[in-house]
Amino acid sequence: MRILIDADACPVVDLTIKIALQYKIEIILYCDKNHILEKKNAKTIYVNPGNDAVDFVLLRDTEENDIVVTQDFGLASMILGKKAHCINQNGLIYNKFNIDSLLFSRQMSKKMRDKGKRTKGPKKREAKNDLSYKTSLTSLIENYK
């Protein structure tokens, strides 16, 4: 088991590293070369910039039972297909029961935006998001390690 993070703009990198150290789990950060992200106790893999380039490298590297941290529903869906685990930065664990409705919701929002409608952006991050993430990540680790 490893933890792989879609690290561009991920607000829980430091928290994830802290938790991974407690469980002695390898952690790998993925970001494009436009970002510099060097963290102690984590390996960083830089990917050439491009549409979904980081996602494809992260997907390629994912192995069964790894944990992937991403807010990208499409990537999460493909990660689940590799029999790995996937969680977002707010503690939502993606699974076979919720991924289809999340993808459908994303598609409906895109259609609305394409028609000129405005959709709400993400809510401001709060301390409770970190607590929920920590609880969910710890649960994933303890259940599958």
pLDDT digits (tens, 9 = 90+) for 74-93: 899 999 999 999 999 999 99
Instruction: Name residue, tokens 């969680």.
Output: 87
Cα(99)–Cα(77) distance, rounded to whole angstroms?
6
Predicted local confidence at residue 103, as pLDDT: 62
One-letter-per-residue 3-state SS of 35-78:
CCCCCCCCEEEEECCCCCHHHHHHHHHCCCCCEEECCCHHHHHH
Q: What is the mean pLDDT of the chain?
A: 90
**pLDDT for 111:** 66
pLDDT the model gives residue 98: 78
Question: Would you state the CATH architecture of domain 2-140?
Answer: 3-Layer(aba) Sandwich (3.40)
Please state, for a pLDDT cut of 90, what percent of the chain lies above it. 69
Rounded to two decimals, the pTM is 0.86
